[in-house]
Amino acid sequence: MTKTKRAWVFEQRKNRRIVIQPELCSGCRTCELVCALYHEGESNPSLSRIHVKRDFFEAEYIPVTCLQCKYPPCYYACPVDGALIIDKNTGSKVIIEEKCTGCGTCARICPYNEKDKIIRYNPQKTKCFKCDLCGGNPQCVKACRWMALKYE
């Protein structure tokens, strides 16, 4: 590993995130579609950076997305220099598509990555992708009519 990654650096920095209130989520999946549309240019939940876990028999809907950890395991684990960086303005952990090799180390090490829905893999591009807070203007939060998502 060529670069030094030190934890104390982040404590001085902003660390913004999307806060989820599952009890308000209606399960309309607009966030998924809007996210994929913004990042990939097509309406496709399998390319979305936010995922709604759904159980329609009990109306249980839980949106899951990157928690933007303060001490991010994915960031430390990434073996490629500059492929997973921290955005200076928002503190979000961003995968740089050009540099990502799609090895999946970040996805495996993420403790919250149940069923690979938070750090996901795009088989067409052979890259990993995850929530980058849209550079400070998260589209899913804007589109959520039920106010289940908040940007803090």
Partner 1 sequence: MYGWMGKILDINLTTGDIHAINTERFVPKYIGARGIAARIAWESIPFGIDAFDPENRLMFMVGPFVGTPVPNGNRSYVFGVAPQAYPKPVYSRSSFGGNWGAELKFAGYDGIVICGKSENPAYLWIDDGGVEIKDASDIWGLDTHSTQRVLMRKHGNDARTVTIGPAGENLVRISVILTETKSSAGQGGFGAAMGSKKLKAITVHGTKGVKIAHPRELMKLREEVANLVRPKKEEPEPDHVQLGWVKFPAGTTYRIRRAHNPCVGCVSDCYAWSQFLVGVPCKVQPNTISGQIQCQALMMMTWGTSKSKHAAETSGRDTWINQGVEGGFETVMLANKYGLNIWELCVGIQLWLILCRFKGVFLGEELNNFNQDDPEFWQSLWRKITYREGIGNILAEGAVRAADILGGKRFLRHIAWGQSEHGAGRGAWDFFEFPKWIVGALLWATDNRDPFSDTGHKYAVLSSWPNIRERLTIAKKIYETEEAVLPLQEEITEGDVKEDQMMQAYRGKAQAAIWHQNRGAVIGSLPLCDAVFPLIISEHTPNGDGDKSLESKLFAAVTGVTITEAQLDQRGEMIFNLERAIAIRNGRTRQDDESIVPFFKEPDWTKGISIDESRFTKLLDEYYVLRGWDVQKGWPLKQKLYQLDLKDVADSLEEMNHLPAQTIDRRGLAR
Residue 30 sits in the site that holds partner 1 (CB under 8 A): yes
Output the smallest distance, CB 7 to partner 1, in A.
37
Of 67-75, 90-98, 125-133, 138-146, which part binds partner 1 (CB under 8 A)?
Answer: 138-146
Determine the size of the site formed for partner 1 (CB under 8 A).
Answer: 29
**DSSP code at position 128:** E
Letter for the amino acid at 3?
K
Helical (H) or strand (E) element with 52: strand 51-55
Q: Which tokens is 112 given?
A: 């919250």
Q: Which tokens is 28 given?
A: 């309309």
Nearer to partner 1, 36 or 133 (CB): 36
Please list, in sequence order, all residues whose beta carbon lies within 8 angstroms of the beta carbon of residue 32, skipping any fewer than 6 positions away.
Answer: 45, 48, 50, 51, 52, 140
Output the smallest distance, CB 22 to partner 1, in A.
11
What residues between 40 and 79 interact with partner 1 by CB under 8 A?
40-47, 54, 56-59, 61
Residue 113 sits in the site that holds partner 1 (CB under 8 A): no
Output the smallest distance, CB 71 to partner 1, in A.
31
**DSSP code at position 70:** S
Under a CB-based contact definition with an 8 Å cutoff, are residues 145 and 34 in contact?
A: no
Residue 128 sits in the site that holds partner 1 (CB under 8 A): no
Nearer to partner 1, 42 or 152 (CB): 42
Q: Dihedrals φ, ψ of 70, to 5°?
A: -75, -35
Which spans of this chain sit near partner 1 (rule: CB under 8 A)?
A: 26-30, 33-34, 36-38, 40-47, 54, 56-59, 61, 139, 142-143, 145-146
